[in-house]
Amino acid sequence: MKVFIWYVDKCSDNYHSNGGVVVFAESEDEARSLANAEEHVVVPANLRPDFVLQPDNMEPRVLVFPDAGCC
């Protein structure tokens, strides 16, 4: 299991739409698919992860961190 982290242009419907997406998955393709299945999240096909980590004993999971900005 790996952890894929992207900084994206859209991950929420907040006024400030930029933010981070963290996905626990076996592969980048699975991570992108899981992320894009979340409401408001867009991880483009050509966007490489900003970080890829490989900790032990993880279950598939998506964490979304929208940019709350000043609002």
pLDDT per residue of the chain (71 residues) written in tens, 0 to 9: 899 999 998 888 776 678 889 999 999 999 999 999 999 899 999 999 999 988 887 788 888 887 766 65
The CA distance from 46 to 50, in Å, is 12
Contact 7, 65 (CB under 8 A): no
Identify which of 67, 61, 50 has the alpha carbon closest to the alpha carbon of residue 15: 67
Structure tokens at 68: 């709350």
pTM assigned to the model: 0.81
Q: Give ∠ CA 19-24-29 in degrees, rounded to 5.
A: 85
Contact 15, 64 (CB under 8 A): no
